[in-house]
A and B are shown apart, each in its own frame.
Chain A
Amino acid sequence: MLATLALLFAPAVALQEVAGAGPSHLGAYLSTVTGLPRPAAVAFGPYQERPHALFVATSGGASSPPVIQVFGAESAPDRSASLVGSLGAGWLERPAGLAVSGEGEVFVTDEVQRTLWRFPSDGGEPAAAAAAQALTVPAGVDVTGSGEEQLVIVADPGAGTAKLFRGGSLSPESIGEGILVRPRGACFLDGPGAAVRIAVCDSATHRIHVFNLDGGHVLGFSQLGPHPSLLSGPADLEFADGKLFVADRENHRVQAFHSSAEIGELAYRFGVHAIRPGEGAGALHYPAAIAVSGDGQLLAIAEPMDDRVQLFGRAPGAEPIEDPSRAAIGPPAAHFGPHISSSGIYVATVSPESHQIQIHDLRGKEPAKISDVASFGTRFGMYRTPCATWLSSGGHALLTVDEGNSRLTRSALRVLPQEPLNADPELARHLDGVDLAAVAGRPFWPGAVAVLAPDTKNELILVTDRATDSVLMLDHDLEPIGTLAGDEETGPIRGVAGLSPATLGVASTILVVDSGGHGARGAPQGRVFEFGPSGAVLRTFGEGILVEPDGVTARENRIWVTDRATDRIERFERQPGGAIQHVGGFGGRGLGPGEFHDPRGILAMDDGRLIVLDHGNHRGQIFDPDHLTLIAGFGGRLYIEPLKSAATWVPIQPKSDRNGDQGR
């Protein structure tokens, strides 16, 4: 602590001391850059006269299109960062990865455009650095070298490999085929001699893999878990100080592994799990991107969930001093992932930290967790990264989708209506399943699942594929019968998200969220598709209203959509004739009743209640949708307290005119 204060007030002197005397480590908290609308990626590099400027790619909020902001982090005496420039405005739709070369060229991946941009150092227009369709859904990127020797590596979770671009070529080589499943971050590191190697973090297998430049696999290390040296959903990594610094996203920390002689051994870790809403100052909350400055003095971590980038510097000692009081906190408590489903007495959610499906019983005042459906592995009945669920048949049937195994699994749940609420670890039994990649004949990245007409001969199982932005349709026997995608008139889906069955008269239809991105001119392109069960596009709706929609649900003639960028729920109604019209919405950023932060899954339950998974607030909110009153909340205690702060559950002011108050 004292060492950190010394750094804050006398940076120049302290740096020399640290550099000169004995071992030092990266991980001493310095400052936070706040107010960044969903920072997705960070990098350090030269900008104008600054050798180590901080670049932050923000994927944007409701009123701010995506852009790369540049900060000078070394000039201010307190090491806080000041904005010195920006680039990429109007070119980016949803940036995912960022890297800056030694000459100041800026490389950005865009997951909606499915491309890699190279912005020249003089601030001019960017050029595409990848051929069309060379990348499936790119994420993290790194660059090393220059000119003919320049190497760029892109992690491509849509393709399940990393892509290596040599010397400015637009056609990459695939690295890690058959080894990588969902690579999210990639970086170059020093190998033995003068060799350059590639390290990739895989968020499905929870491992780091190291490859030679020719694609040869050197080794893989780590496994799923919350303990030291284990990982959960590693999102990004950076090479510095002879170590691989890994943003261990779902363990809410950074771990530094030795990268040379003792490759894969943990050197140290830092960043305790943020517990209270908004907690920072070294506490981390879903760290998603990491960068280290070229001189090894600064480390930046982006936390998109909290709209901030935290800066860490060096401190003396080979590793940070552990705070023993944090040991009692234990591994991160289960949070709610972005999906929710319900049927009968059960609600199913996915916990990102523990990669388990959790079944809650609704018969009490609030949902009470009664069972986990989980075991980590690749065999049938095991999960790597469960991402979505669908409950049907009065709660007797459970479908789960696992993006790590590219698998759909069907299970039966015991339903014992006469029993009192009781934890029941034996609630689920797995029945059968299907390998989605084998069915589709190509890499498949499942996201959401829904079922139409369960237990009938018209049963349709729908699974979204983020690799191709389409929806796979299976029949009850898990045989593929078609695909849903945009047509010539509507254009493709760009960022497939949530799914829901809907009804049009007596027929069933399918709603698919197209999260869209910001479009070339910075205008939000979110919308929802409605498909008929034959696969034909019936209509789209929500244009001009939805910024970054995610979840959708329908009941009778009403449709609700969550919007991650505005933190609102938008309401739509079916008109006679079938058209769908926006009729209002509610919400806005906050912790109170009817306020949200990154609302994701939404569900209109059989009994008419509306349940919203308020993902960024680690809670669910249950509403009476007719009167827009909050009935109950469930989830993290610190996030439920603000719901109860009102003496009684109060009606929320309906925001029927979206052009008005955005709720921020």
Chain B
Amino acid sequence: MRNSLLTLLALTALGCGPDEGPAANEAGGSATPSKETPASGAAEEVRGETLEASSSGGTFLARVTPLVDPIPMNEAFSVSLSLLDPETGAPFTDYDEVSIDARMPAHKHGMLRDVGLTPQEDGSMRADGLLLHMYGHWELHVDIRKGARFERAQISVRLQY
């Protein structure tokens, strides 16, 4: 985990600065390849490429799998969210509240929906009704609260044409 992070940091340092124009790669989110194979037997459920990010303090890993492929522009979609312990990969449960939201910082607006999370039998959570209504760079925010503390894991999604 740490080595891949260092590799990514090295890539950053090599001058691959963020470009301002529309990136020419695939429609959908930026991603690390998921280590997880899609759930077998869930033939009717579409799953897109999993996006993940470590929380700012390294407390948890947020793994977001869109239940649609690719993430659509201006159409409601659902995601599956898992919180994992970054070292062991076991489910992370040491929190009081969790929320998921999205924001488009370039336009100074958020998502037009307040989306709730429903626990699923396999320990993950499902959020329905996310809507990214404009093209461009979105941030997905997965925030937890434990007692008085808040911590965020942030994932970038770029909606392309």
Contacts and interface: CB of A to CB of B under 8 A. Distances in A.
Do A and B have CB atoms closer than 8 angstroms in the complex? yes
Interface in A398-425: 407, 409-410, 412, 416, 425
A288 B17 CA distance: 48
* From B139, B148, B152, residue with most partner A Cβ within 10 Å: B148
Interface string A426-442: 10011111111011000
Nearest to B107: A425
Contacts of B106: 425-426
Contact of A431 (B110, B139, B147, B151): B151
Contacts of B110: 375
B96 to A, nearest CB: 11
Contacts of A380: 99, 143, 145, 150, 152
Given A431-B151, A432-B150, A478-B149, A372 B108 contact: yes
Give the 6 A-B residue pairs with the shortest CB-CB distance, closest first.
A431-B56, A438-B148, A380-B150, A432-B151, A435-B148, A433-B150
A412 B17 CA distance: 17
Contacts of B55: 432
Contact of A426 (B17, B105, B143): B105
B148 A434 contact: yes
B154 A432 contact: no
B103 interface: yes
B141 interface: yes
Nearest to A377: B110
Nearest to A376: B110
10 contacts: A372-B108, A379-B99, A410-B56, A430-B154, A432-B56, A434-B149, A436-B148, A439-B148, A478-B148, A478-B149
Contact of A375 (B99, B108, B152, B154): B108
B148 A431 contact: no
Contacts of B139: 429
Contact of B141 (A372, A381, A410, A435): A381
A421 to B, nearest CB: 15
A379 B148 contact: no
B105 A425 contact: yes
Interface string B82-119: 00000000000000000101010111101000000000
A118 to B, nearest CB: 39
Nearest to A371: B105
A432 B57 CA distance: 8
Interface of B: 17, 55-57, 99, 101, 103, 105-108, 110, 137, 139, 141, 143, 145, 147-152, 154
Interface of A: 372, 374-375, 379-381, 407, 409-410, 412, 416, 425-426, 429-436, 438-439, 478
A434 B154 contact: no
A426 to B, nearest CB: 4
Given A425-B108, A426-B137, A438-B147, A431 B103 contact: no
Nearest to A432: B151
A431 B101 contact: no
B25 to A, nearest CB: 19
A412 B55 CA distance: 13
A478 B59 CA distance: 14
A431 B152 contact: yes
Nearest to A427: B105
A491 B141 CA distance: 46
Given A431-B56, A435-B150, A438-B148, 8 more contacts: A372-B108, A374-B108, A375-B103, A429-B139, A430-B154, A432-B57, A434-B148, A478-B148
A173 B56 CA distance: 43
Given A432-B149, A432-B150, A381 B143 contact: yes
A502 B107 CA distance: 40
A377 B58 CA distance: 26
Contacts of A433: 149-150
B149 A381 contact: no
A407 to B, nearest CB: 8
Nearest to B15: A418
A428 B67 CA distance: 29
A508 to B, nearest CB: 24
A101 to B, nearest CB: 43
Contacts of A381: 101, 103, 141, 143, 152
Contacts of B57: 431-432
